[in-house]
Amino acid sequence: MHLSTEAASMHVPRSCTREAGYETRNYREPDRNFCQSALAKRQTPRMAKRGVALRGRTLVALVLAAFVLVALSIVWRRTLGIGQSERLATLDAKRTELEGERARLDSDIRDASSRQLLGVAAESHLGMHIPSDRQVVILPRVGRREGP
């Protein structure tokens, strides 16, 4: 922004319009100059060379946040464990039921394949009967011929 020399000379800061000899003095603060701000007297702030230490409230907040995270993770893990436990219980009950059904089916197969039931089924459904001794013919076994 460019100002003319007349406008530039017209611009005057707040309370520094008075000359230094005519300044009103505040006796409560004897060495303070009101024409110059306190920031102008300070040096520019520098970054700390070492890390800034944690203060009490920050440290307590971090510890509390860490505790809450650990507690939430424990609750989450236990919730997953309870769900898995219920699933395992249902699978175990189903396995026990299937083992019982297998034992029952094995028993049914053994009973159905016994000679007594097979003989009765063959006589009734297929019209077969047990031959008498005169009907049984025993054929002699023919041995193998040895090579030429």
Residues (pLDDT < 50) of the chain are: none
pLDDT tens digits, 47-61: 666 666 777 899 999
Q: pLDDT at position 77, please?
A: 97
CA dihedral sign, ordered 108, 109, 110, 116: positive
* Residue 117 three-state SS: helix
Position of tokens 């005519």?
22
Q: What is the pLDDT of residues 10-35, one digit of tens each?
A: 655 555 555 555 555 556 665 655 55
